[in-house]
Amino acid sequence: MTFKDVIYGRRAVNFFDPEKDVPELLLNEIIEMASQAPSGFNIQPWSLIVLRDYDDKMRLQKHAWNQSKVSEAPVTLIVLADTEGWRAGNPFLEKDFQEMLNSGAMVEEQRQWFYGVCESLYGASEARKIAFSCKNTGFFAMSLMLAAKSLGLDTHPMDGFDIDAVRGEFKIPDNYWIPLLISVGYFKSDQKRTPSKWRKTVDEIVVRFD
């Protein structure tokens, strides 16, 4: 499968084969591929809750407009974006800085500068925190969907859910925004794939305002 095949072949599919499981090793491969997504300062503020158990998926589905794909797919992911991932003391920010020290990309004297830049870029307001966490996690989520497609699976991203209810149901801490859910599985072969939908043209996408 060429990259073009992956890009043009991915669809948000509504019908998953409930009989066809996604083995853990395969899911791990998809997640590992997605982990190669870029992020500001390589902070990687993303996490996943992996739901496989039918009852767990139904607990999610009831807060997700009862969209049946949530439980029909063998795996549904709750994608989390850490709005505090930029903050000094966050274990992954500390790991990130340590890795930069190890690779020679930064020196110890830059530590306070680094913390300050992260805070001013990503933590200056609630809006900035959500933007920071969700833009980076969006790259991760897209990478995950393309990785799945490249390995013969299909996905469905969803933001049709009640974020507060999902947070409460799965005891998700307040520092996480929940940008989307992603169902992952194999397309149900007795269903018809929806044709490609309209997209903005290049001319419609490219703008300037001055």
Ligand X SMILES: Cc1cc2nc3c(=O)[nH]c(=O)nc-3n(C[C@H](O)[C@H](O)[C@H](O)COP(=O)(O)O)c2cc1C
Contacts with ligand X by CB under 6 A lie at 11-12, 67, 157-160, 180, 197
- If the CB atoms of residues 49 and 101 are measured against ligand X, the closer one turns out to be 49
Angle CA(99)–CA(102)–CA(103) in degrees, nearest 5?
90
Task: Identify which of residues 24 and 159 has a Cβ nearer to ligand X in the complex.
Answer: 159
Minimum CB distance to ligand X, residue 57 (Å) = 15
Cβ-count burial of 19 within 10 angstroms (0-12 exposed, 13-18 middle, 19+ buried)?
A: exposed
Nearer to ligand X, 30 or 182 (CB): 182
Min CB(178)–ligand X separation in Å? 11
| Cα–Cα dist 31/109, whole Å | 34
Q: Which residue is nearest to ligand X (CB)?
A: 160
Give the residue with the Cβ less far from ligand X, 2 or 103: 2
Structure tokens at 146: 């393309």
Q: What is the smallest separation between the CB atom of 123 and ligand X, expressed in angstroms?
A: 24
Instruction: Compute the least distance from the CB of residue 27 to ligand X, in Å.
Output: 20
Q: Which is nearer to ligand X, 9 or 18 (CB)?
A: 9
Minimum gap (Å) between residue 65 Cβ and ligand X: 7
> From residue 151, how far is each of 22, 93, 116, 127, 207 by CA, in Å?
11, 31, 41, 36, 35
Q: Are 13 and 154 in contact (CB under 8 A)?
A: yes
Q: What is the DSSP string of 100-122?
A: HHHHTSS-GGGHHHHHHHHHHHH
